[in-house]
Structure 1
Amino acid sequence: MCRSIKTLREPYASDVTDEDVRAAALQYVRKVSGFRSPSARNAEAFDRAVDAVAVATRALLDDLQLGRLPREHPRA
């Protein structure tokens, strides 16, 4: 199941949509919960978890600093 979660950061992906983030969150919650589709009594908790993971994922992607930091050159 989790193998279908795609890497969503540059350079592996560009123009990541909210749909992409939600799909990854859904796959994660499915894996963790063990439910592909939760029962009616668990649907609300499942949906809240997907929403929370999607928000956390978007925050992570927005906060990541990509690229290399410049190297400090030794002074002669």
Structure 2
Amino acid sequence: MCRSIKTLREPYATDVTDDDVHAAALQYVRKISGFRAPAAHNAEVFDRAVREVAEATRHLLDHLQVGAPRRTG
């Protein structure tokens, strides 16, 4: 789908910045909307979508558990 979006979790990436997350969110919104830059009447909803995708991405990255959970018992 979005070949320019990089994997942002370890071990593929370390020290992921907010700029990295924003860039990935922007690429995603551009791809699904079909617009590189929205028209003025769509700018607010486009920018909101980028912010929301970035927030969801950050939440995902902050809560992912990489590797299998340890077994107890």
TM-score by length of 1: 0.88
Partner of 1:30: 30
Q: Return the offset for 1:68.
A: 3.1
Percent identity reads 75
The amino acid across from 2:22 in the alignment is R
Question: Partners of 1:24 and 1:4 in 2: how far apart?
Answer: 8
Task: Give the secondary structure class of the aligned counterpart of 1:35.
Answer: coil
Deviations 1:27-72 (A, max 9, x none): 0000010000100000000000000000000000001011233468
- Structure 1, unmatched stretches of 5+, are none
Partner of 1:43: 43
TM-score by length of 2: 0.91
The amino acid across from 1:54 in the alignment is A
Aligned residues: 72
The amino acid across from 2:33 in the alignment is S
Q: CA RMSD in A?
A: 1.5
Structure possessing the higher radius of gyration over alpha carbons: 1
Query: For residues 1-76 of structure 1, what are the structure 2 equivalents within 5 Å?
Result: 2-70=2-70
Q: Return the offset for 1:2.
A: 1.2
